[in-house]
Structure 1
Amino acid sequence: MKKFLLGILAGLVIAVVTGIVLTFAAVKFARRPPEPPKEAWLSLRLEGDLPEAPEVGAPIPALEDKSPMTVAEVWSVLRRAARDPKIKGVLFKPRGLTVGWGKIEEIRQGLELVRKAGKPVYAWLASPGTKEYYAATAADRIFLSPEDLVDLKGLRIEAAYYKGTLDKLGVEVEVEHIGKYKDAGDSYSRTSMSPETKESLNAVLDELFFRLCSTIGQSRHMTPEQVRALLDDGPFLAPNAKSRGLVDELNYESTVQQQLASAAHLSESQSIAARDYLKTMPELGGRKTKNIAYLVAQGDIVRGPIASLLGDERGINPQTMGRQLRQIGNDPTIRGVILRIDSPGGDAIASDEILDEVKKLSRKKPMVISMSDLAASGGYYIAMSGDPVVAYPGTLTGSIGVIYGKVNLKGLYTKIGVSKEILKRGRFADIDSDFQSLTPEGRAKLRESLQFIYDGFLKKVGEGRHKKPSEIDPVAQGRVWLGVHAQQKGLVDELGGLDKAIALLKKKADLAETDGIRLVPFPARRTWWDELFTKRDASGHGWGGGEGEASMLLRQLPVGVAPWLQGGVLRVMPFSLQIR
């Protein structure tokens, strides 16, 4: 007993000492808040992802600068820089961007706003690919290191198919879908693209390629036809990139900084990083600033909370989303809501529960829907509150359809020596068994359910778009549309980004055009310490009890996989489209 008590005491002492050491380290390594610049040029470095919702911050503040800025933060920085007389120019440094074509447009719009304010915008590129170069075309001048490469050669879509591998393993994936373009399960049930998939994806690729050539041509003083011919010769070594008119000058970053400082009548040292500038920014708009809730719905739509390894939640679930929506509705200081969606969809029932909560808030507060890179299938469904919908021309949206996938592992079980016997009561008790294929009767029963859910999807979209279901069906069928085509088909209202969404919301909320706005983020940025000391519920999400094995598995899966393993009928877009 004595040893047991001593063990507990020793554990408490170690915990206290560890806490003191970590607190000391946090204080010691914390950076002082940056001073607002007197006069400076802004350094905007964007690398990798540009998330919609903030990531969990590092335990030591000095490390927090490594986390990526959010889309809203980049938007705020560039709009403030355009109006701030102390900011004299911008040096844009994109590298290895993994964002989609919607977020790229938001970046370009911000850079163009700075240029329209009469301030120089320079772009310095490091081994740029298509997206980095496309974003950089919003700058006044484009620079490249003398020994570098511009990896600009056009666009492609790749889709992988795993049926051959699954056949060798003895695994059969049966997929039923409503909508001839609803091919989310084709990766597991086919060995190649269906004609419908090729039709849909070629339309997406054609439009994006047209916009790419047109935008580059406008920036570099070429015709779209000249740009198309140019891309057939890519990629380009630095000298060729310069001689072919893709970049203005070959030079190193330090020299480009000197040139920008000179153009802005500053010294090279008079610079401020975008993240530091963000920390110095007052609320946008001054005295007449109005609070606007900026609610992010990012990731797969799942039935319940799934924690990442850092403790923050992944995906969109009805419980957390509903709580945030109700919190916004009960806050009298919030004048309106922007629902920002970046989701491929997911669980059908969870999507419906979320839409119900969105509609309730829409009846209490003015709302506008802003689509990011992706708002497809269930991600499109939760946007159907009847409020104005804004999408970028390059947003992937639509995919109005439903799908059900079932795995038959009998062949695999046989290979590894596992056998099963099934005893049942009820005609369809074994319809979802992993030891047999669907029977014709079971398939008919399943399709009856899928058709019911699809008809409900059409009805909800019709209500949200103020149309009859019969008018929605021809543009539904599970087809993915780009934002520009979705507007033509009546699936979205306006093309644009956050500026357009805010302008529409001001009208709905009876705010003056001159009123400033403050975006109140939901979820708010949280630190590692917040996650550590936040009490969770007992559902397996956090401290409250034993975490189920399924939850532990789901939280470690790549985006897009969790809804499939949770089972049930899905509203999810086909594939995980990477257009590069």
Structure 2
Amino acid sequence: MLQFLKFVLATLVGLFLFFIVSFFILVGIGSALSSEDEVVIKDNSVLKLDLDRPIKEVGVENPFAELSLPFAGNDETIGLKDIREAITRAGKDDHIQGIYLKTQDPGAGWASLEEIRNELLEFKKSKKFIYTYGEYYSEKGYYLASLADKIYLNPAGLMEWNGLSAEYEFYKGTFDKLDIKPLIFRVGEFKSAVESFSRKDMSEASKQQSIELLDALYGNYIANVSKSRNIPASELRGLADSLAVTNPASAEKYKLVTHAGYYDELETAMKKELKVDTDEDIEFVGLSKYLKGKHPSEDGDFNKRVAVIVAEGEIVSGEGSDGTIGSDKFVKELKKIRENDKIKAVVLRINSPGGSALASDVMWREIQLTTKKKPVIASMSDVAASGGYYMAMGCDKIVAQPNTITGSIGIFAMLFNLENFLDNKLGITFDGVKTNPHADWPTLTREMTDFEKDKIQKSVNEGYANFTSKAAQGRKMSVEKLRSLASGRVWSGVEAKSNGLVDVLGGLDEAIKLAANAAKLKEGDYRVRFYPEKKNPLQEFVSKMAGNSEDQIMARQLGELAPHVKMYRKLLNMEGLQARMPFGLDIR
């Protein structure tokens, strides 16, 4: 009896503590959500842009990051849209005197950085200052920092100035050890996505296109840094070749930074600029807080809209999930936009390496139907390659940044023969019966015949013919000319503009202007709306509780092994023909 009472008492105490903790969590949630109230921006403020975090097209605010709640985490994905909007507003806002930029190693692709950089250059026309400080600068971070009026680098810090590189991982050795035989079906010598599984190194064709891509991106990088720092491009290249910039002192010597100094020295310089007493604090305002402040109402007629539909991630069939482009979900969204008479034009904002060829074709068809009712302009972000280009080629015009990665027009399929792995490593064998000679085709548990393999290759060839003929139709060039640019080859935006795969070099703003002009909308006479709409903080909270932050959890738990596990899961999810660019292309 005494033991029973102990258990009852322990249960009651546990329930009591649970309700107390739940109460404080609900108070925290209420406090976070109440932060949606309008914020007053004080005079003589400085916009603080912390870009050292993941940056996507449309971000999601984490309202619980500062509450130290067990489920909240302190990560936050910020949106390129929000960054650009804040910089634009700050340039016209009399309360904002300058920008403090934190950009040591921003989590963004090169074209996204180009968009931010161009916005900052426009901000500088307001004659307001931009200061930046870092304990180190990666090449990506310095690309933004280089335009600042004052660039501080910690005296004990580091600076990366040695050029760009791209490294690929190869798994053939692993498969050999496991007795797994990859079966590759592709069209085009440059379709190198499959090489990670069939080779131990890069093919000559893959090296050729990778070097030319890097040279194009680096040329754009050097040209812009040269202009900002007033240092000849040849000198910048020489500093990288000789590894002359190895520490903050050498970075200051060669005028890549203005000061090898500490953060407090940056603050002192900023206070002097703001005419603030040394014992007073600087009035910093962060990105999310600034966007909640009172700003001039949006111009334009609500009944005349340009819709920007964001397509970001790998392309898959069905509804998809966060971080992917699901063809069913995309089709529903685009159909609603097409049938909405208030929307006069559409900009398709693409940031995708491709994926399912079937899903890409399904979306291409819906884009084509939309072009018959209203103008559709493609705006390429960091990457719009293979399946991403498949989407773009259905639009009326294509806009890309000079450092966008695009092209990769090609198709492949990949299967694995697991017979020896299952038998020799696990002791599992298979046997069965069938009504027809190929009833179990395609199969992973036996060697396919040459006839069966030829059938798959024929399907890949037909997919390639379909892709290239539609691309030629969209680009208004002969199939022969288009195929000379295809074969899976990857191009920079500059190269794609030169060879006709892209119409205009520019960012999202240029694409919106083109769409508005095509719809005969005058400047200031329309509004811009993004679709799908940004998640609100409560939705993000529910998503986190439902496990949608799986990649972040995996990264924390597995560390350096996380990318390999992620690659394995990608292979499991690949179905049918694939229109995607090389796996794991990370240019740094």
Q: TM-score range by the shorter chain?
A: 0.7 to 0.9
Alignment partner of 2:136: what SS?
coil
Between the two proteins, what is the percent identity of the paired residues? 29
From 492, 503, 516, the equivalent of 1:493 is 503
Task: Say yes or no: does 1:243 pair with 2:253.
Answer: yes
Q: Confirm or deny that 1:210 pairs with 2:219.
A: yes
Is the Cα–Cα contact under 8 Å of residues 40 and 294 in structure 2 kept in the other structure? Answer: no
Give the drift of 1:417. 0.7
Q: 1:23 aligns with which of 23, 26, 43?
A: 26
Matches within 5 A, 1:254-293: 254-265=264-275, 268-280=281-293, 282=295, 285-286=298-299, 291-293=305-307
> CA, structure 1 residues 405+248, in 2 after alignment: closer, same or farther (shift >3 Å)?
same
Counterpart in 1 of 2:40? 35
* Structure 2 counterparts to residues 128-167 of structure 1, below 5 A: 128-167=137-176
Please list, as runs of the form range in 1=range in 2, the aligned pairs for 1:297-316 lying within 5 A after superposition. Answer: 297-307=311-321, 313-316=322-325
Cα pair 1:376 1:398 within 8 Å, conserved? yes
Q: How far is the alpha carbon of 1:257 from its aligned partner?
A: 3.3
Matched with 1:52 is 57
Residue number among 369, 391, 403 corresponding to 2:412 in the alignment? 403
Deviations 1:8-38 (A, max 9, x none): xx9x999999876543321245535421343
Report the alpha carbon displacement of residue 352 of structure 1 after superposing the two structures with TM: 0.9
- Deviation of the 1:284 alpha carbon: 6.5
Q: 1:15 to 1:177 in 2, by over 3 A?
A: farther
What are the equivalent positions in structure 2 for 1:85-484 lying under 5 Å apart? 85-234=94-243, 235-265=245-275, 268-280=281-293, 282=295, 285-286=298-299, 291-307=305-321, 313-415=322-424, 416-484=426-494
Displacement of 1:68 in angstroms is 2.5
- Cα 1:78–1:563 change in 2 (3 A) is farther
CA distance in 2: counterparts of 1:368 and 1:444, whole angstroms: 39
Distance in 2 (CA, whole Å) between partners of 1:61 and 1:220 is 37
Counterpart of 2:581 (choices 563, 573, 577) is 573
On the 8 A contact 2:65/2:75 being kept in 1, the answer is no
Encode CA deviations 1:317-345: one digit per residue, 9 max, x unaligned.
Answer: 11211121122233343333221111111
Tell me the TM-score normalized by structure 1: 0.87
SS of 1:349's equivalent in the other structure is helix
Distance in 2 between residues matched to 1:458 and 1:384, nearest whole Å: 10
Moved more, 342-351 or 148-157: 148-157
- Letter of the structure 2 residue corresponding to residue 108 of structure 1: R
Measure the CA separation in 2 of the matches of 1:283 and 1:360.
37
How far is 1:387 from its partner? 1.7
Query: CA offset at residue 47 of structure 1?
Result: 1.1
Q: Is the 8 A contact 2:423 2:429 kept in 1?
A: yes
Whole-angstrom CA distance in 2 between matches of 1:239 and 1:466 = 54
Supply the AA of the counterpart residue of 1:52.
E
Q: Report the Cα offset of residue 57 of structure 1.
A: 4.3
Q: Is the 8 A contact 1:120 1:260 kept in 2?
A: no
Matched residue type, 1:320: K
Q: 1:379 offset after TM fit, Å? A: 0.8
What 5-or-longer segments of structure 1 have no aligned partner? 1-9, 308-312, 542-555
- Structure 2 length-normalised TM: 0.86
Counterpart CA distance in 2 for 1:53 and 1:89 is: 24
Q: Which residue of 1 aligns with 2:557?
A: none
Following superposition, the deviation at residue 238 of structure 1 comes to 1.2
- Specify the code of the residue in structure 1 equivalent to 2:259: E
Count residues with an aligned counterpart: 548
d(CA) in 1 for partners of 2:341, 2:175: 55
Question: What are structure 2's unaligned runs of at least 5 residues?
Answer: 1-11, 549-563
CA contact (8 A) 2:338 2:374 kept: yes
Instruction: State the alpha-carbon separation in 2 of the partners of residues 356 and 33 from structure 1.
Output: 43
Deviations 1:395-445 (A, max 9, x none): 111100000001011121122211111433334333321122332212221
- Alpha-carbon distance in structure 1 between the residues aligned to 2:229 and 2:574: 49
Looking at structure 1, the residues matched to 525 and 42 of structure 2 have their Cα atoms a distance apart, in angstroms, of 25
How much has 1:458 moved relative to structure 2? 0.9
CA distance in 1, matches of 2:330, 2:250: 51
The alpha-carbon distance between structure 1 residues 261 and 391, as it changes in their structure 2 partners (threshold 3 A), is farther
Offset at residue 265 of structure 1 (A) = 4.7
Q: Are residues 314 and 208 of structure 1, via their aligned partners in 2, closer, same or farther at CA, if it must alter by over 3 Å?
A: closer
The CA deviation at 1:297 is 0.8
Give 3-state SS (helix, strand or coil) of 1:126's partner: strand
Contact 1:26 1:61 in 2 (8 A): no
Cα deviation for residue 570 of structure 1 reads: 0.5
Would the aligned equivalents of 1:294 and 1:520 in 2 still touch at CA under 8 Å?
yes
Deviates more, 1:280-289 or 1:324-333: 280-289
Q: Is the 8 A contact 1:298 1:343 kept in 2?
A: yes
Please tell me the residue identity of whatever aligns with 1:572. Answer: R
Question: Match of 1:486, as an amino acid?
Answer: A
1:547 aligned residue: none
Instruction: Give, in angstroms, the shift of residue 61 of structure 1.
Output: 8.4
**Match of residue 545 from structure 1:** none
CA RMSD for the aligned pairs?
3.0
For residues 390 and 560 of structure 1, what CA distance do their matches in structure 2 show? Answer: 34
Structure-2 residue corresponding to 1:550: none
Change (3 A) 1:271 1:198: same
Match of 1:562 in 2: 570
Q: Which amino acid in 2 is paired with 1:527?
A: P
